[in-house]
């Protein structure tokens, strides 16, 4: 029966470890251990096969476990009940304890008695794992996970009426790691039971309490009212609930058993209506319906839940605690798998973020290059506008000069007496020109400050482009608009070419105007040119 061997493997390993010498044990010693195990299982003569098993006189633990599985435990019935399996485990554990108790009980100052240490040993073997030693791959060792050891220590502390410090245990578990038997017993005795005020009886009761929970698979115990079969009266009993049975006694000492109710997966529990202070519920079995009661509603709910749980785990040959341990291990494995998946996902996200940042950096560099080109286009636009204004001004100057020259030639003698008045008006106009030029300079300074603010804003936008991927598209749209503007400027420049050609023709026409002028003509030309500049400045404003 492989399940029974699996349950007692840790105990057998401790017995094997106490007999071994350099990872092997002589067959003569193993024959005694095998004979005792076979006697407990009602199998006789199973140790004789060791003489013909392997050619060497010494066996490793793997070889000895293989022999037990195929020559001893395979002879047991494949289907058996949980109480029988539990009884076999108890007997085999006691035999193994007799072999290894001397080495396992050796310590400086013992707090627990021998019987309590045996019970803790069985709990350790129940929750422990048989793993290969990190230093020697051929050597095995039974270790207890810090979480499993913490469950035992926590229940022991609660049974002693002390306060449990979870953070302190996590720090201790992280420093020790996996608990071997010596470390596990030393921590329980020195850290939690080393207080001189604790009475020895309290320690025994506390160990018995956790032994009942882990080894005896006691799901719940306490006082219950039970209705008699012949007399319909409710009598109070001390009840102990296990996965396969509900046993009731006269008192909490559990010395006088009054009855036992078998529980299987076909049993059900229902709340029942009752009169008085007793809160009743019914345990329905295939053979009979039992009626129980509690003092309050909360206790009734707890007992109903416990009974349903016992019925759910009653099938099979594994106890309640072994199933709970498997569930905890499965949950821990799922958590570890989720943690690994989360770490892998985070690493993938980090790589994706780094790739996105690199791509964003490239886009920012492209945007900077485009902005640089945009600045160059803006400078070219300004230069072209300046040249266009100069050309336009030159054309206007030429037209005004020509018109004034013709007018001055016609009215030269009539306006000679008005020369002084015109000079005064000219001075006034020059003063107005200076004022307008000053206003123009102020306006130009304001535009320059706006341009600097625009450059500052552009730098801020560039910083935002590095941080926010979402604004990259906006930057690209802005670059596209800039390219459209540059294209529009090119179109305008192309449209201005006929105007420039007309200006060239006008200059050629002026080249035919006579250049000989009198002093009065020259004065009038200067006045006309100044007047044209004033008009041009007004146009610019």
CA distance 279 to 326: 35
pLDDT in tens, 242-298: 888 899 999 888 888 899 898 888 899 998 876 678 889 999 998 889 999 998 889
Alpha carbon 534 to its chain's center:
76
| pLDDT at residue number 26 | 86
Residue 524 has pLDDT above 60, yes or no: no
pLDDT in tens, 8-67: 888 888 888 888 877 888 888 888 888 888 888 888 888 888 888 888 888 888 888 888
Confidence band of 533 (pLDDT split at 50, 70, 90): low
CA distance 34 to 72: 8
Q: Rg of the chain over CA atoms, in angstroms?
A: 52
Confidence band of 514 (pLDDT split at 50, 70, 90): very low
Beta-carbon contacts of 235 under 8 Å, excluding residues fewer than 6 positions away, are 225, 226, 228
Check if the beta carbon of residue 260 is closer than 8 Å to that of residue 276.
no
CATH code of 220-318, in short, is 2.30.29.30
CA distance 315 to 232: 32
Place of tokens 């882990």: 214
Residue 119 has pLDDT above 50, yes or no: yes
Nearest CA to 160 out of 194, 117, 125 is that of: 194
CA distance 301 to 395: 106
Residue predicted with more confidence, 311 or 322: 311
* 34-38 CB contacts, 8 Å cutoff, 24+ apart: 34/67, 34/68, 34/72, 36/95, 37/12, 37/68, 37/72, 37/92, 37/95, 38/72
Check if the beta carbon of residue 156 is closer than 8 Å to that of residue 192.
yes
Mean of pLDDT over the chain: 81
What are the residues facing 24 on neighbouring strands? 21
Nearest CA to 517 out of 438, 443, 408, 423 is that of: 408
3-class state of residue 314 by DSSP? coil
3-class state of residue 496 by DSSP? helix
Sequence spans of domains, the chain? 2-214, 220-318, 361-540
Confidence band of 507 (pLDDT split at 50, 70, 90): low
Place of tokens 């100052």: 109
CA distance 131 to 470: 54
Residue 318 has pLDDT above 80, yes or no: no
Token output for 244: 């396969």
pLDDT in tens, 460-492: 887 887 888 777 787 788 888 888 888 888 888
3-class state of residue 394 by DSSP? helix
Token output for 28: 């003569």
CA distance 293 to 299: 9
Check if the beta carbon of residue 53 is closer than 8 Å to that of residue 67.
yes
Residue 239 has pLDDT above 90, yes or no: yes
Token output for 94: 């006691």
CA distance 352 to 404: 75
CA distance 89 to 505: 121
Stretch among 202-216, 268-282, 461-475, 498-512 having the lowest mean pLDDT:
498-512
| pLDDT at residue number 515 | 45
CA distance 185 to 118: 11
What's the burial of 517, exposed, middle or buried (CB within 10 Å: 0-12/13-18/19+)? middle
pTM of the entire structure? 0.57
Dihedral sign from CA coordinates of 376, 381, 386, 390: positive
Residue 512 has pLDDT above 50, yes or no: no
Place of tokens 């094997």: 16
pLDDT in tens, 342-360: 888 888 888 888 888 888 8
Residue 519 has pLDDT above 50, yes or no: no
Highest mean pLDDT: which range of 322-331, 356-365, 515-524: 356-365
Average pLDDT over residues 403-432: 83
Residue predicted with more confidence, 285 or 329: 285
Confidence band of 328 (pLDDT split at 50, 70, 90): low
3-class state of residue 539 by DSSP? helix
Token output for 337: 């798998």
Confidence band of 188 (pLDDT split at 50, 70, 90): confident
CA distance 387 to 283: 107
Check if the beta carbon of residue 193 is closer than 8 Å to that of residue 204.
no
Residue 396 has pLDDT above 90, yes or no: no
| pLDDT at residue number 37 | 83
Residue 77 has pLDDT above 80, yes or no: no
| pLDDT at residue number 36 | 86
């Amino acid at each position: 029966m492989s399940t029974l061997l699996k349950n007692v493997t840790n105990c057998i390993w401790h017995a094997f470890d106490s007999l071994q010498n350099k990872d092997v044990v002589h067959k003569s010693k193993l024959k005694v251990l095998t004979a005792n195990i076979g006697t407990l299982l009602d199998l006789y003569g199973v140790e004789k096969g060791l003489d013909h098993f392997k050619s060497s006189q010494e066996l490793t633990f793997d070889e000895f476990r293989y022999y037990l599985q195929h020559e001893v435990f395979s002879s047991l019935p494949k289907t058996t009940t949980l109480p029988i399996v539990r009884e076999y485990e108890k007997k085999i554990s006691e035999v193994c304890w007799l072999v290894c108790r001397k080495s396992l009980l050796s310590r400086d100052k013992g707090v627990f008695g021998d019987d309590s240490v045996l019970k803790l040993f069985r709990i350790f073997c129940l929750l422990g794992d048989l793993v290969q030693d990190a230093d020697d791959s051929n050597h095995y060792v039974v270790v207890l996970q810090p979480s499993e050891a913490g469950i035992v220590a926590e229940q022991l502390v609660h049974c002693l009426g002390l306060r449990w410090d979870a953070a302190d245990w996590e720090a201790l578990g992280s420093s020790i790691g996996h608990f071997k038997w010596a470390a596990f017993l030393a921590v329980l005795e020195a850290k939690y039971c080393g207080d001189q005020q604790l009475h020895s009886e309290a320690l025994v009761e506390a160990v018995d309490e956790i032994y009942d929970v882990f080894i005896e698979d006691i799901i719940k115990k306490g006082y219950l009212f039970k209705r008699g079969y012949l007399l319909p009266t409710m009598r109070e009993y001390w009840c102990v609930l296990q996965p396969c049975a509900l046993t009731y006694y006269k008192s909490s000492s559990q010395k006088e058993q009054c009855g036992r109710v078998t529980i299987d997966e076909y049993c059900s529990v229902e709340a029942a209506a009752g009169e008085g202070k007793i809160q009743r519920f019914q345990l329905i079995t295939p053979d009979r319906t039992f009626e129980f009661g509690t003092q309050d509603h909360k206790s009734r709910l707890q007992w109903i839940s416990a009974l349903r749980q016992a019925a759910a785990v009653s099938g099979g040959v594994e106890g309640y605690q072994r199933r709970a341990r498997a569930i905890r291990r499965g949950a821990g494995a799922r958590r570890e798998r989720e943690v690994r998946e989360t770490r892998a996902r985070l690493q993938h996200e980090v790589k994706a973020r780094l790739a996105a940042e690199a791509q964003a950096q490239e886009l920012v560099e492209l945007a900077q290059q485009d902005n640089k080109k945009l600045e160059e286009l803006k400078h070219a636009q300004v230069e072209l506008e300046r040249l266009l204004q100069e050309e336009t001004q030159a054309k206007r100057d030429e037209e005004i000069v020509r018109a004034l020259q013709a007018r001055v030639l016609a009215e030269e003698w009539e306006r000679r007496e008005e020369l002084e008045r015109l000079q005064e008006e000219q001075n006034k106009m020059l003063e107005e020109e200076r004022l307008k030029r000053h206003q123009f300079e102020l306006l130009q300074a304001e535009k320059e400050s706006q341009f600097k603010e625009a450059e500052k804003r552009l730098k801020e936008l560039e910083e935002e482009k590095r941080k926010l991927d979402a604004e990259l598209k906006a930057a690209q749209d802005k670059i596209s608009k800039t390219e459209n503007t540059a294209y529009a400027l090119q179109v305008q420049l192309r449209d201005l070419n006929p105007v420039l050609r007309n200006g060239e023709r006008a200059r050629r026409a002026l080249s035919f105007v006579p250049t000989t002028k009198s002093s009065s003509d020259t004065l009038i030309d200067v006045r006309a040119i100044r007047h044209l500049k004033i008009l041009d400045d007004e146009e610019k404003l």
